[in-house]
Amino acid sequence: MKTPHPWTPALALCLLAAAQPTLAQQRTVDPPRAIGQIEINDPAAESLIDPDAEIEILATGFDWSEGPVWSKELGAVLFSDIPPNSIYKWKEGEGLSLYLKPSGYTGAEERGGEPGANGLAIDKQGRLVMCQHGDAQVARMAAPLSDPAPKFDAIAAKLDGKQLNSPNDLALHSSGAIYFTDPPYGRVGRFEDQGRELDFQGVYRVSPAGELTLLTKELEAPNGIALSPDERTLYVAQSSGRRPIYMAYNVQEDGGIDEGRVLLDVKHLAADRPGSPDGMAIDRDGNLFATGPGGVLIITPEGKHLATIRTGERIANCTFGGPDGRTLFMTSDMHLCRVRVKTAGLGF
């Protein structure tokens, strides 16, 4: 006869702990909770989104969620929570789980600010590429998506021997080139950080061969970045209270850009709406779903503001995903949200 295991306080605590949901599970909102509204400025928006589309919170409780990317391989969305140096995964039917920690700062010394990864992308080889605030570099996760590990290969870390500020967001070109922005938001002192080695905020290109080129240093706060479907236009958002704008640059044959033009100035919205120009997603027809004052602004390639997806919170970034590419995932401050749209992202 098997002897029963003696019941002890230690065993009781172990069993209680095993029964408790993890922090990630606690943050899953199941069923999703509806919030916000779709604000239509132009009837043309109704070909892209239903005015009655429901915005849903999928998970909550983050410090500052950012940089979402859809993984077809995982069937899930990955996104950063920058201050706690983490990347999370959300998957239909499974909810939220911690995917990677540390994500953007691998140093041994404690540091404050926003040290984690920010913008995320998946390259043609299926590898996770990220902007790492704390390590001040664009890097690639050395492990496969299906078996993540905090080991990274640096792609871009220095310009002419000087450390980058804190790479923020990135866009991958079909050639293998990488475009990215480099404001100092990931530094402890941000714009006033005493350890900065560059006295400007740049927009860069890394060639397929790994050569880093400064494209422009004329923007005071470059942030979100995206390429048009034909890769002939580079969009850059400026998260400046003084001049909140979205820029459009013509991409040259050598991968460089021209002097650019202001696609849309949203200072009139910034006065009484939370948020600033930040991350962007481009649909298959070239429309911008651009985070900014009030939510995600739907903007035509010509710069017309058609509608705003409003969650009521600051929205940092967004990406298309789901099996058909018609779900827009949004990192809205402490939330991960989604909304169904009528259009689809590139590659779906």
Binding residues for a divalent metal cation: 66, 223, 278
Whole-number pLDDT of residue 22: 86
In this prediction, residue 347 carries a pLDDT of 86
| 305 pLDDT more than 90 | yes
Backbone angles phi, psi at 197, to 5 degrees: -105, -15
How far, in Å, CA of 149 to CA of 145, rounded? 9
DSSP 5: P
d(CA 257, CA 206) in angstroms, rounded, equals: 13
Summarize the confidence of residues 160-184 as an average pLDDT.
98
Q: How far is CA 273 from the centre of its chain?
A: 20
DSSP designation for 340: E
Calpha distance 137→149 (Å, rounded): 17
Least confident stretch, 10-24, 82-96, 290-304:
10-24
Please state the rounded mean pLDDT for residues 28-46.
96
What are 194's two structure tokens?
């005493």
- Tell whether the torsion through CA atoms of 320, 47, 235 and 243 is positive or negative: negative
Residue 118 amino acid letter: N
Q: What are phi and psi of 121, to 5 degrees?
A: -150, 160
In whole angstroms, what separates CA 90 from the centre of its chain? 14
- Average pLDDT of the residues of the chain: 94
Residue positions forming the annotated binding site: 66, 168, 223, 278
With vertex at residue 233, the alpha carbon angle to CA 227 and CA 38, rounded to the nearest 5 degrees, is 60
- Token look-up 């990955």 returns 78
pLDDT for the residue 21: 76
Quote the pLDDT of residue 4.
47
Mean of pLDDT values over 44-69: 98
Q: Where do the structural domains in the chain lie, given as residue ranges? A: 24-340
Residue 144 has pLDDT above 50, yes or no: yes
Mean pLDDT, residues 6-20: 47
- What are the structure tokens assigned to 262, written together? 């202001």
> How high is the pLDDT of residue 8?
52
Instruction: Please determine, for residue 234, whether its predicted confidence score (pLDDT) is greater than 70.
Output: yes
- Please report which residue ranges of the chain form alpha helices under DSSP H: 9-19, 23-27, 267-270
- Kindly indicate the confidence band of residue 18, based on its pLDDT and cuts at 50, 70 and 90: very low
Superfamily name and number for 24-340: TolB, C-terminal domain (2.120.10.30)
CB 111 within 8 A of CB 188: yes
Question: Is 63 an active-site residue?
Answer: no
**Residue 311: pLDDT above 60?**
yes
Compute the average pLDDT of residues 212-219.
98
- How does DSSP classify residue 260? -
Q: Which long-range contacts (CB under 8 A, 24 or more apart) does 189-194 make?
A: 189/113, 190/113
Catalytic residue among 278, 283, 285, 324: 278
Residue type, 235: Y
Average pLDDT over residues 300-308: 98
Residue ranges of the annotated binding site for substrate are 168
Residues 6+ apart with CB under 8 A from 26: 61
Grade residue 12 by pLDDT with cuts at 50, 70 and 90.
very low
Q: In the 8-state DSSP scheme, what is residue 255?
A: S
For tokens 């709406």, what's the residue? 273
Residue 25: per-residue pLDDT: 84
CA 332 to CA 330: how far, in whole Å? 6
Residue of 212, 343, 209 whose CA lies nearest to 286: 343
- Cα distance between residue 312 and residue 306, in whole Å: 18
Mean pLDDT of 245-250: 98
Among 93, 77, 101, smallest CA distance to 23 is for 101
Q: For residue 139, what pLDDT band results from cuts at 50, 70 and 90? A: very high
pLDDT of residue 112: 87
Structure letter (DSSP) for residue 293: T
Does residue 293 register a pLDDT over 60?
A: yes
